[in-house]
Amino acid sequence: MDDKLRIIISGGGTGGHIFPAVSIANAIKELYPEAEILFVGALGRMEMQRVPAAGYKIIGLPICGFDRKNLLNNIKVLFKIWKSQRMAKNIIKDFKPMAAVGVGGYASGPLLNQAAKMGIPCLIQEQNSYAGVTNKLLAKKAELICVAYDGMEKFFPAEKIIKTGNPVRQSLLSSTVEKDEAVKSFGLDPEKKTILLVGGSLGARTINDSVMQHLDLVENTDVQFILQTGKYYHAQITDTLKGRQPKNLVVTDFISDMAAAYKAADLVISRAGASSISEFCLIGKPVILVPSPNVAEDHQTKNAMALVEKQAAIYVKDADAPATLLKQAIELVNDDKKLQNLSANILTLALPDSATIIAKEVIKIMRK
């Protein structure tokens, strides 16, 4: 069976969909090294670069979301959906997959819809505590739905749900870098407390503003900061900092070695994307969550509150962050007892080996 195993994985749009998808693919390859895995993504989206960089082939569909502001544009969207459905059908005919996996995002809609019509068993992986539109629409057609949070029967048939957790980047768990070495790799002092501020793959204006509006606070504290701005905001921020960048502030658009960044940090400030939260749980990292208000159904706030209710994270509202976040973070990073409590509580929520569990479930639905 090994040499004939063919699986399609579809979805993407953001790092939060792509990292789990690649982790599932890697786990399938570990179990069945000869397996053929094909990714299907959306043209022009991040997966078209990230997936080939991880060593997998990807085909792009011309799919995009509905334009809620300009309804006339949706005529084009409907045409793209129709075209993507036809392309998906042809991809499936050519590749002949034995299973299809959807991780959310635009492309997984037409691909899994066609796969189910053609009798191919489908598995959905839902990362968030509030299910995405695409996954809710596909639920009836899926054999199995892998989730990371309790209470997901609000969105999906209870008999199809299995709680597996979210797959994370393996490099975070396999890294052997020591804390001192990690801090030094950013040109900082291992003897001082370090706060890592991450805006996700696209960057977060609010998190950037929380630092940029309080450079005096940065300068006058013994705490060190690593600010990941995202590519979109990086040029503007480096321009603003010319000639006045505090020595205890490191600014970078993208961090390739997140294992070292997390290891260096005594405290992380982050958006509340599902993949990021799963990573914090597995590594036991104290975190202040600033949910993005610009996401469907405000799902990041729901993700954050699932941790806050268990005293496993601190929540700061996006609108309040520029004024209060930095001061609160400096106070927290200097409170060792509170950091220890947050770390201990978030570790209890970890669901390890998610990618391997999901990979095994993919194999099971093929054999039914």
Domains located in the chain, CATH noted:
2-166+352-367 (3.40.50.2000), 171-347 (3.40.50.2000)
Question: What is the DSSP-derived secondary structure letter of residue 297?
Answer: G
Query: What pLDDT, in 10s, does the model give residues 227-270?
Result: 999 988 999 999 999 989 999 999 999 898 999 999 999 999 99
pTM of the entire predicted model: 0.84
Query: What pLDDT, in 10s, does the model give residues 133-164?
Result: 889 999 999 999 999 998 999 999 999 999 99
Handedness of CA 25, 26, 27, 28 (dihedral sign): positive
Output the average pLDDT for the chain.
92
- What residues are paired with 195 via a beta bridge? 225, 267
**Would you state the pLDDT for residue 2?**
45
Compute CA 4 distance to the chain's CA centroid, rounded to the nearest angstrom. 31
Compute CA 225 distance to the chain's CA centroid, rounded to the nearest angstrom. 22
**Would you state the pLDDT for residue 1?**
44
Lookup result for tokens 């999906």:
156
How confident is the chain (368 residues) per 10-residue block, as mean pLDDT? 80 80 95 96 90 95 75 81 94 97 90 96 94 90 95 96 90 88 97 94 89 96 96 92 94 92 97 92 96 87 94 97 97 98 96 95 91
**Would you state the pLDDT for residue 114?**
96
- Distance between CA atoms of residues 214 and 234, nearest Å: 17
- Distance between CA atoms of residues 286 and 94, nearest Å: 47
